[in-house]
Structures are given as structure tokens and as C-alpha cells.
Amino acid sequence: MGLFSYTVAGGGFIMIGAWEAFASSKETLKVTPPPPSPLEQPQLADITTPKSTRISSSATFLAGSVLSFLFIVNSLISISDAISSEDDVGVVIQLEVISISLLFILYSVVGFFSRSKDSLQLPCQIPNLISLFAFGEEFLIFYIQRKDPSGVENRYYDLFLVPIAACAFCTILELKNPQRNYCRLGRGIGLVLQGMWILQMGFSFFSGLMAHGCALHERSRGNYTVKCKGQHEYHRGRAIATLQFNCHLVLLVTIVSVVFCIVCKKNGIRQESSKYRPIGAEVQQMEMGACSAFSLESDDDEGANHHNALGMPGVAANGFHAHQ
């Protein structure tokens, strides 16, 4: 496929995931208005959740369809090259890529029309269900793809399953709770990690950043493997792939933390998220009530007042007996 194809694919995933995560974080961290007074009746618009918080934005659907179309064009070019090279495995691999791309195009089209007011209103679970099938097929393809069991690229494919599984898991959570923007946020971060790892695979396979002692062997444009000279180079190549993935993961966590802090500072946090109720609040209220009921009068004064109330003689303040 080449370094250029991997760069375009990785950059597209990063842009789509970043936009999805940023849009969902702004909706999640938006400051909510104070609760209405008991005399005010809540409006219907306050109860109904806007549709933009339940499914992705139109820009995400449009970008996803364009990126999927580019995947199909690249696969068709690879299929023609595999046919000329008499590589049947390369043809099958590209057909699998086309099937995944068609599912993502279907997801984008259905999601876009489900947001349109003039078209038939579809439940928000339908686009998410289609995307779940697409992520599942993508996971299955990279899980069983073993063109060469001794190829180092298999380690990259195994690590690529992590962000795919994260996207699928967030989609499942969104199917259960469509109004939770945290699911969209997690899926956006997973898409960003997919794009970063696609870029890393492109540089690792088609540039001079490949592990020492390993080389790329291409049978066709879409069918290749990375072979090493011996077991020592093979294990070192796998270890380098694991180290690269950990570095990408740390970089992503750092970027997300910084952006999250900036968005929180700019837009604020929901009031229900900032509420803090200390442990033992009821005990503290009881103690405060006991302190407010405390009196400086001693038990003797209370006894004297009790006797005076019953009509018994007591002692006045000057030491003499009080008379009736």
C-alpha cells in the first residue's frame, strides 16, 4: 500500500477521532443551568435531550464516508496489482478491506439521514449498530490475518486490536445509554489511537525506521510481510513494536489530559459532577444540632428553677430566702 496510503489513512482517523472526542467533551462538560424553583414548571425543551447529543455530528459522517471511499479506491488499485502479479491472497485481503469500508459508508449514510429533519426519522441505535458490526469485522480480520506466521507485522496487527476493541466497547455502551456523551468521547479517543498506530505501521514497514535485521518483502501492493534474519532480530522487532505502542499510548493519554483540562477551564463542569457530599454528613448535622441546644445553665440552676416552678422556696441571688 505504501507510506502515502498509510499516512492518509492514519491522518483521517486522527482527525475524525479528535473531532468526535472534542465535540462530545464540550457537550459533556457544558455547565448546566441552576434547577428551577418549585413554582416554575419545567419546559418540554428542558426535558427532551437534543438529538445532537445522542449521535455523531454531520461532519463526522461526511468525513467517515470520504475516508471509506478512499479506502475502496486504494483497495481497487491493490486488487489490479495483485491480479497482474497472480497473487490470490492479495485479492482476498483487499476484498475484506472493501467490505469493511462499505459498512462504514453505510453507517455514515444512515447516520447522516437520521439527523435530517426532512427524511425518515430513524432511531439513533441503528447507526451505532452498523458501526458495531464494522468494528467487529475489522477486529476479526486483523485477528485472523496471518499471511506469514513468522512476520513481525503480526505483532503490529495484534496491538492494533486494542484501539479497535476500545471503539467496539464504547459503541456497545452507547447502544445501552445513547444519551451518555462519555461513550462518544471514548470512541473518539480510540479512533485517534487507531490513526496514530496506522501512521506508526506505515513508517515501520515502508521507511528506514524498521528494526535492524528485518526487511519488507512484497508479493503485491497489498500483500507483504516483514521478515527478519534470525530469532534474535525477530524478538527484537516484536519488542520494538510493543515499545512503540506504549509510547503512543502515553502520548495520547498526555494529550487527552491537557485538552480535557483546557476544555474544563473554558466551559466549566456540570453541577452534578462538582457536588461533593462528605462521609458522615448526617453525623455532623446531629453534632451541630446538639451544640446549638447546649446551655450554660448548670444542673443546680435547672433544679432550682424546677423547685421554683412547683412553688417551693428557693434561694435568691443575694443569698436570702425568697418569700411568697
Q: What is the C-alpha to C-alpha distance for residues 290 and 220, in angstroms, rounded to an integer?
A: 84
Q: Is the Cβ–Cβ distance between 211 and 240 less than 8 Å?
A: yes
More confident residue, 71 or 273: 71
- Please state, for a pLDDT cut of 90, what percent of the chain lies above it: 35
Mean pLDDT rounded to a whole number for the chain: 77
Q: Which of 210, 197, 201 is nearest to 162 (CA)?
A: 197
pLDDT of residue 209: 75
Residue 310 has pLDDT above 80, yes or no: no
Contact 38, 216 (CB under 8 A): no
Who wins on pLDDT, 75 or 120?
Answer: 75
* 216 strand-pairing partners: 226
Q: Which of 91-95, 184-188, 209-213 has the lowest mean pLDDT?
A: 209-213
Identify the pLDDT of residue 49.
Answer: 40
Q: Which residues of 136-174 are buried (b: 16+ CB within 10 A; e: fewer)?
A: bebbebbeeeeeeeebbbbbbbebbeebbebbbbbbebb
The yes-or-no verdict on residue 33 having pLDDT over 50 is: no
pLDDT value of residue 54:
43
- At residue 100, the pLDDT reads 93
Q: How far is it, in rounded angstroms, from Cα 138 to Cα 168? A: 10
* Closest CA relative to residue 21, chosen from 253, 246, 275, 274: 253
Q: Which of 85-89, 138-142, 319-323 shows the lowest per-residue confidence on average (mean pLDDT)?
A: 319-323
The C-alpha atoms of residue 157 and residue 239 are separated, in whole angstroms, by 14
At residue 271, the pLDDT reads 47
Please name the residues in contact with 324: beta carbons below 8 A apart, sequence gap of 6 or more: 313
User: Residue 176: its pLDDT value, please?
Assistant: 83
* pLDDT score, position 301: 52
Averaged pLDDT, 252-268: 81
pLDDT in tens, 10-30: 999 999 999 888 887 766 555
User: Is residue 44 packed enough to be buried (19+ CB in 10 Å), middle (13-18) or exposed (0-12)?
Assistant: exposed
Domain regions of the chain by residue span:
2-32+48-271
For residue 106, the model assigns a pLDDT of 92
Residue 122, helix vs strand vs coil:
coil
In whole angstroms, give the CA distance from residue 143 to residue 154.
9
Stronger pLDDT, 21 or 160, i.e. the higher one = 160
Q: Are 171 and 132 in contact (CB under 8 A)?
A: yes
Question: Is 39 a residue whose pLDDT tops 50?
Answer: no
Q: For the chain, what percent of residues have pLDDT higher than 70?
A: 69
**What are the backbone dihedrals phi and psi of residue 321, each rounded to the nearest 5 degrees, phi first?**
-70, 145
Comparing 273 with 279, which gets the higher pLDDT?
279
The C-alpha atoms of residue 185 and residue 90 are separated, in whole angstroms, by 35
In degrees and rounded to multiples of 5, residue 225 shows phi and psi of -150, 155
Q: Which of 191, 132, 203 has the alpha carbon at shortest distance from 160?
A: 191
CB 237 within 8 A of CB 228: yes
The SS3 assignment for 111 reads: helix
Going by C-alpha positions, the residue among 83, 87, 31 that lies closest to residue 264 is 31
Q: How many helices (H) and strands (E) does the chain have?
A: 11, 2
pLDDT at 87 over 60: yes
**pTM > 0.85:** no
Element (H, E) at 228: strand 224-228
* Cα dihedral sign, 46-48-50-54: positive
Mean pLDDT of 286-314: 51
